[in-house]
Amino acid sequence: MLFDENRFFKESSEEEREHAEKLIKYQVAGRNNDPQLADFIESEFLAEQVESIKKISEYVAQLRRIGKGHGTWHFNQSLLHEGNTA
């Protein structure tokens, strides 16, 4: 079984939608220059976003290095294993 790109992007999209809904709830409070809110938003969202971007950039770098062929199969297998342990 190959890495399911559709599942990966669907799950990522659902997670981002949840983040957007949380941000909408806090939007009015953000207009009041609330430092606690700013800290909450940074701690709740920023670190996770940075980690997601880092992970995807690592995937892209790995795929560029391995190219096409058998290496891609190994990459897919490692992602499947990673997904099963997460």
Dmax over CA atoms of the chain, in Å, equals: 55
Q: 22-72: per-residue pLDDT in tens?
A: 877 776 765 677 788 778 777 877 778 888 889 888 888 888 888 787 788
CATH number of the domain at 17, please.
1.20.1260.10
Q: Which domain holds residue 36?
A: 5-85
- State the Cα–Cα distance between residues 86 and 71, nearest whole angstrom: 23
pTM: 0.56
Tell whether residue 49 is among the known ligand binding residues.
Answer: yes
Number of domains in the chain: 1
Q: Kindly report the number of other CB atoms within 10 A of residue 32's CB atom.
A: 7
- State the Cα–Cα distance between residues 41 and 54, nearest whole angstrom: 19
Compute the CA torsion angle 4, 7, 8, 11 (nearest 10 deg).
Answer: -170
